[in-house]
């Protein structure tokens, strides 16, 4: 059976993933829209920056975040001057780190979906006197919905599965930063393989169901993945 400690870790993980996914949809959508439509020279550098977490080992990202959010780092100095203290070892710190880590998994599908919208549709809407906000919310967003769905699910799933970054900046505090992936690692390291199996098996089943849902939904459609 899942122990109390495992349930606590799962609930904390889900809370983190929900908050991070909502934030990512909020932050990622304007970035995706801008990337899909801009002709700026900054497009490629920004695209590369957004994609970095895909290629960087989480330990690298985690280490830089630990340094940047520490008392002598730029983010740490900012949060301290705002009276928030420093972010490592807190739930808020995990949220910030996970947003960085999962950003490309949300931005890329939405960007691709926006880019696939035919320009004529938006132009027609404009000739029918739809303002820019109106065009965005009533034409672009509904057309790009599969991209939002894919991005949301991938961002959620990646946040649930994240390990290296959380390990580097979390501090392994129960109910605050000890998420499921870290808990599994602890069990394996402590040779408590039975507990490890329960939690790892739950994660495995969960991940499969999430991906299956996504693929079933995208069946027959051009997948933005």
Partner 1 sequence: MKKLISLGGAIAIAIMTATIGHAETVNVAVATNFTAPMRAIAEVFEQATGHRLKLAFGSSGKLFAQIQNGAPFQVFLSADGVKPEKLERAALTVPGSRFTYALGTLVLWSATPGFVDDKGEILTQGDFKHLALANPKLAPYGASAIETMAALGVKNQLNPKLVLGENVSQTYQFVATGNAELGFVALSQVIKDGRIAEGSAWIVPAELHSPIRQDAVLLASGKDNAAAQALVDYLKSGKAAAVIRNYGYGLPH
- Interacting residue ranges for partner 1, rule: CB under 8 A: 63, 66-67, 69-73, 85-86, 88-89, 167-169, 171-173, 185-186, 188-191
Q: Are 95 and 79 in contact (CB under 8 A)?
A: no
- Smallest gap from Cβ 122 to partner 1, in A, equals 47
Name the packing angle between helices 43-55 and 4-37 (round to 10°): 160
Look up residue 159 and give its two tokens.
């946040």
Q: Which is nearer to partner 1, 31 or 87 (CB)?
A: 87
Q: Which is nearer to partner 1, 29 or 181 (CB)?
A: 181
| Residue 65, phi then psi, degrees to nearest 5 | -65, -40
Q: Which is nearer to partner 1, 163 or 206 (CB)?
A: 163
- Smallest gap from Cβ 205 to partner 1, in A, equals 22
Instruction: Please give the distance of CA 178 from its chain centroid, rounded to a whole number.
Output: 18
- Smallest gap from Cβ 133 to partner 1, in A, equals 42
- Smallest gap from Cβ 17 to partner 1, in A, equals 22
Q: Which is nearer to partner 1, 36 or 65 (CB)?
A: 65
Rg (CA), the chain: 20
151: nearest Cα among 32, 48, 58: 32
């Amino acid at each position: 059976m899942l122990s109390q400690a495992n349930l606590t870790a799962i609930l904390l993980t889900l809370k983190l993933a929900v908050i991070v996914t909502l934030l990512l949809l909020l932050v990622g959508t304007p970035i995706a829209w801008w990337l899909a439509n801009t002709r700026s020279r900054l497009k490629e550098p920004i695209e590369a920056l957004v994609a970095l977490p895909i290629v960087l080992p989480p330990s690298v990202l985690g280490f830089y975040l630990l340094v940047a959010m520490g008392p002598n780092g730029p983010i740490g100095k900012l949060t301290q001057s705002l009276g928030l203290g420093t972010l490592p070892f807190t739930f808020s710190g995990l949220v910030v780190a996970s947003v960085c880590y999962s950003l490309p998994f949300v931005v890329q599908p939405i960007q691709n979906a926006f880019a696939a919208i035919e320009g004529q549709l938006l132009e027609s809407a404009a000739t029918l006197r739809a303002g820019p906000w109106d065009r965005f919310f009533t034409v672009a967003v509904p057309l790009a919905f599969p991209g939002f769905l894919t991005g949301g699910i991938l961002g959620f799933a990646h946040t649930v599965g994240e390990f290296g970054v959380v390990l580097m900046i979390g501090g392994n505090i129960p109910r605050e930063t000890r998420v499921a992936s870290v808990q599994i690692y602890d069990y394996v390291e402590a040779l408590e393989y039975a507990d490890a199996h329960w939690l790892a098996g739950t994660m495995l089943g969960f991940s499969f169901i999430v991906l299956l849902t996504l693929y079933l939904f995208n069946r027959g459609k051009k997948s933005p993945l």
